[in-house]
């Protein structure tokens, strides 16, 4: 099973995915952003401002998730993805290939996003901050449903809600020595 956790930058996707992967037996985490960072390192100056616009990013992301999901019972994928064509290129193809792919969008208010980005030291001039309003509007569409409104939820409540939604059994303690920096409420 693949669970794609979508949401604006600062919505808590990676925090939730790390917590879930640490508490669900046989689960792992794959962050497609790392592929974007790799592409930036190996092709400096030649990428679009948003690496998702690069066909190679979408292909490598699909290939990596396809391979990783064949080795784990549950794969959590925390990634903001608002372009429906790109979503279909990756998620649609994974489904066509026979993977069970679930999707959730963590929804938060602009105020909450801005506060969280500020805590991450991303000010008004950061790419994530400037993208927030556009991404929130795109993610509000039915295309990106199921929506989980998280403004008034604690970190643990988000994890519990996602586990319930996808029928995941959570262990009471984290597996391994993973230390997770949580976002602030």
Q: Is residue 85 part of a domain?
A: yes
Q: Give pLDDT, residue 178.
A: 42
Residues 6+ away with beta carbon under 8 Å from 166: 1, 3, 102, 104
Mean of pLDDT values over 26-42:
93
Instruction: Please give the residue that has the higher pLDDT: either 172 or 73.
Output: 73
Q: Give pLDDT, residue 182.
A: 35
Q: Is residue 161 part of a domain?
A: yes
Q: Give the C-alpha separation, 152 to 155, whole Å.
A: 10
**Average per-residue pLDDT for the chain:** 87
Q: Give the C-alpha separation, 161 to 164, whole Å.
A: 5
Q: Is residue 171 part of a domain?
A: no
Question: Percent of the chain scored above 70 by pLDDT?
Answer: 85
Q: With 60 as the cut, is the pLDDT of residue 84 above it?
A: yes
Q: Give the C-alpha separation, 60 to 32, whole Å.
A: 9
Q: Give the C-alpha separation, 183 to 16, whole Å.
A: 10
Write down the pTM of the prediction: 0.87
Q: Is residue 180 part of a domain?
A: no
Tally the domains of the chain. Answer: 1
Q: Is residue 51 part of a domain?
A: yes
The range of the structural domain enclosing residue 47 comes to 2-165
* pLDDT tens for each residue of 87-104: 999 999 999 999 999 999
3-state secondary structure of 59: helix
- What's the Cα-to-Cα distance from 185 to each of 12, 114, 151, rounded to whole Å? 10, 12, 8
Q: Is residue 173 part of a domain?
A: no
Q: Give the C-alpha separation, 105 to 144, whole Å.
A: 6
Q: Is residue 33 part of a domain?
A: yes
Q: With 80 as the cut, is the pLDDT of residue 176 above it?
A: no
Nearest to 23 by CA among 182, 178, 170: 170
CATH number at residue 77: 3.40.50.300
Q: Is residue 172 part of a domain?
A: no
Residues 6+ away with beta carbon under 8 Å from 101: 1, 2, 3, 4, 91, 94, 95
- 3-state helix, strand, coil split of the chain in percent (to 5) is 50, 15, 40
**Starting from the edge strand earliest in sequence, which strands make up the sheet with 101-107, in order?**
27-29, 74-78, 2-7, 101-107, 147-149
């Amino acid at each position: 099973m693949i669970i794609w956790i979508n949401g604006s930058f600062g919505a808590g996707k990676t925090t939730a995915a790390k917590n879930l992967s640490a508490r669900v037996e046989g689960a792992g985490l794959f962050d497609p952003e790392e592929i974007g960072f790799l592409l930036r390192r190996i092709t400096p100056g030649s990428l679009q401002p948003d690496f998702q616009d690069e066909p190679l990013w979408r292909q490598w992301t699909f290939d990596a998730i396809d391979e990783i999901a064949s080795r784990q019972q549950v794969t959590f994928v925390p990634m903001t993805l608002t372009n429906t064509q790109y979503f279909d290129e990756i998620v649609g193809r994974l489904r066509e290939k026979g993977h069970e792919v679930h999707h959730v969008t963590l929804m938060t208010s602009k105020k909450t996003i801005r506060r969280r980005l500020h805590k991450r030291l991303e000010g008004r001039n950061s790419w994530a901050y400037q993208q927030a309003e556009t991404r929130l509007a795109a993610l509000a569409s039915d295309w990106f449903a199921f929506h989980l409104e998280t403004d008034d939820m604690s970190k643990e409540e988000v994890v519990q809600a996602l586990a319930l939604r996808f029928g995941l059994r959570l262990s009471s303690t984290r597996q391994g020595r993973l230390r997770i920096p949580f976002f602030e409420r």
